[in-house]
Amino acid sequence: MKPLIAGALMALLAVQVQAATIVMEDQSQIPAPNAPAHADYFKPPAESELPDNAYGKLVREGHALFVDTKRRAPQYVGNGLNCSNCHLDQGRLANSAPLWGAYPMYPAYRKKNDRVNTFAERLQGCFQFSMNGGKPPAADSPEITALSVYAYWLASKAPLGVELPGRGYPDVAQPAKGYDLKQGGAVYQAQCAVCHGEQGQGQKVGADYVMPPLWGKDSYNWGAGMHRINTAASFIKHNMPLGKGGSLSDQQAWDVAAFVNSHERPQDPRLVEGSIEKTRVKFHANDGVNLYGQTVEGVLIGQGIR
């Protein structure tokens, strides 16, 4: 049986590790050792359990697309991100929106588009918003099929329709005093800039990002779930800094999430009649805690970047 990470993927990982070593003590590819232990966390199947047949081949294709999305599906990715930037450890890590926690919960109603979505439609939304990809792949496209099969394999031993511990990004309640953008900037420079750059630009080796950009033209757009400060704070609290998840306080997680999401990024593709205000009212006013359409230090947030 061929290993999951082979050939081009092995080369990509080697480049990623080499680049990360330049700027820090190589925490770029290690799992999060400080993640809270939980006896009830679901354990997805091991690579050794993957059959060496057509099904196994498609799982491998989905895995390759998941960890190397930008290069393998460039026509559907309009920024510098891969699926695995928000779903760590190849979509396996608890408290990092693992695929094994998502797949068994669909079809499901989503407030975001006010209808019941299939898992394929959920993936399409990721391409449209998180990947800033414009028109997403068709539901029956090779890309959506491969990603769906990979997610199914990871969840193949999970109970159907059961909200498992470690699913999603566990909520981190907003601190009593709210968030502080200035303090968030200080946390960012101390804890995040070494990987993501002084200006949130990420890090590249050649044309490929080895550390994702957090704002600017190559990051997620204003329609992505991560633009919500509460969502970003939950992700950061449990997963960042990479390899040291849980080391930031709730206040620090909220502060740095607000700081990151006070910076411009690509426009929400649902922009209503070219109006930030109309878009804010329709899509953002009741969408968690976010800054879209608000004025911060005299600057209107949500103008977008091309």
Same domain, residue pair 62 and 119: yes
Confidence of residue 281 (pLDDT cuts 50, 70, 90): very high
Mean pLDDT within 186-207:
97
Query: Which pLDDT belongs to residue 38?
Result: 58
Closest CA to 182 of 240, 252, 244: 252
pLDDT digits (tens, 9 = 90+) for 146-196: 999 999 999 999 999 999 999 999 999 999 999 999 999 999 999 999 999
Residue 164 lies in a domain: no
Residue 280 lies in a domain: yes
The total domain count for the chain is: 2
Residue 20 lies in a domain: no
Same domain, residue pair 45 and 142: yes
Same domain, residue pair 84 and 188: no
Same domain, residue pair 50 and 150: yes
Confidence of residue 278 (pLDDT cuts 50, 70, 90): very high
Q: Which amino acid is at 9?
A: L
Same domain, residue pair 150 and 192: no
In the numeric block, the tokens 């080796």 are attached to: 205
Mean pLDDT within 83-112:
97
Same domain, residue pair 185 and 258: yes
Same domain, residue pair 96 and 201: no
Residue 5 lies in a domain: no
Distance CA 269, CA 129 (A): 8
Q: Mean pLDDT in the chain?
A: 89
Same domain, residue pair 225 and 131: no
Same domain, residue pair 134 and 201: no
Secondary-structure percent of the chain, ordered helix, strand, coil, rounded to 5: 40, 5, 50
Residue 4 lies in a domain: no
Q: For residues 11 and 206, which has the higher predicted lDDT (pLDDT)?
A: 206
Residue 211 pairs with which residues in a beta bridge?
203
Q: Could you list the residue range(s) of the whole structural domain that residue 192 is in?
A: 181-300
Q: Is the pLDDT of residue 282 over 70?
A: yes
Q: Is the pLDDT of residue 13 over 70?
A: no
Q: Which of 119, 154, 189 is the last residue of a domain?
A: 154
Same domain, residue pair 78 and 193: no
Q: Is the pLDDT of residue 29 over 60?
A: no
Residue 132 lies in a domain: yes
Residue 126 lies in a domain: yes
Same domain, residue pair 145 and 36: yes
Query: Which pLDDT belongs to residue 234?
Result: 98
Residue 290 lies in a domain: yes
In the numeric block, the tokens 């070494």 are attached to: 194
Residues 196 and 232: beta-carbon distance below 8 Å: no
Confidence of residue 306 (pLDDT cuts 50, 70, 90): confident
Mean pLDDT within 101-115:
95
Query: Which pLDDT belongs to residue 15?
Result: 35
Query: Which pLDDT belongs to residue 228?
Result: 98
Q: Is the pLDDT of residue 243 over 50?
A: yes
Same domain, residue pair 85 and 142: yes
Mean pLDDT within 5-14:
38
Q: Is 12 helix (H, G, I), strand (E, B) or coil?
A: helix
Q: Is the pLDDT of residue 5 over 80?
A: no
Q: What is the CATH number of the domain that holds 246?
A: 1.10.760.10
Whether cis (ω within 30° of 0) applies to the bond prior to 136 is no
Distance CA 200, CA 81 (A): 13
Query: Which pLDDT belongs to residue 292?
Result: 98
